[in-house]
Amino acid sequence: MANRLLRRARDFAEVRAGGVITARAADEALALLEVDELGLDRLDRELLGAICERFAGGPVGLSTLAVAVGEEPDTVEDVYEPYLLQRGLLKRTPRGRAATPAAFAHLGLRAPPDAPSLF
């Protein structure tokens, strides 16, 4: 994923920044790619949004979540979940995936009073 983003930033810099990847060029490239300040892309935010809004913060099963965002369960589990777990935005529970208060905050949503926490 990082290599893909680096290639896109390099391409952007080649066309719009005189071939030099500066902080500004990288920020503009990431904005065009819809990557936010935490490194989340559109589908990361869509996954979190589905859990937070459609499933009231969870827990929600992997298959149900995958259908909600139009992805394969293996892709959600292997590609998107690890980073969301690492950033503390998602939690795996015995009953399914749940959004943390940090996920609600990042999306600008109000967490329900009983939202699961990491602790």
* Paired residues of 90 in beta bridges: 99
Q: Is residue 90 within a helix (H) or strand (E), and if so which, with residue range?
A: strand 90-93
Taking only the tens of pLDDT, the chain with its 119 residues reads 777 877 888 788 888 777 778 888 888 888 888 888 888 888 889 999 999 999 988 899 999 999 999 999 999 999 889 999 999 999 999 999 999 999 999 988 888 776 555 55
Beta-carbon contacts of residue 92 (< 8 Å; ≥ 6 apart):
81, 85, 98
Q: Find the helix packing angle between 62-69 and 42-49, rounded to 10°.
A: 120
119: Cβ–Cβ under 8 A, 6 or more apart, which residues? none
Structure tokens at 40: 């989340």
Is residue 101 within 8 Å of residue 85, measured between CB atoms? no
pTM to 2 decimal places: 0.74
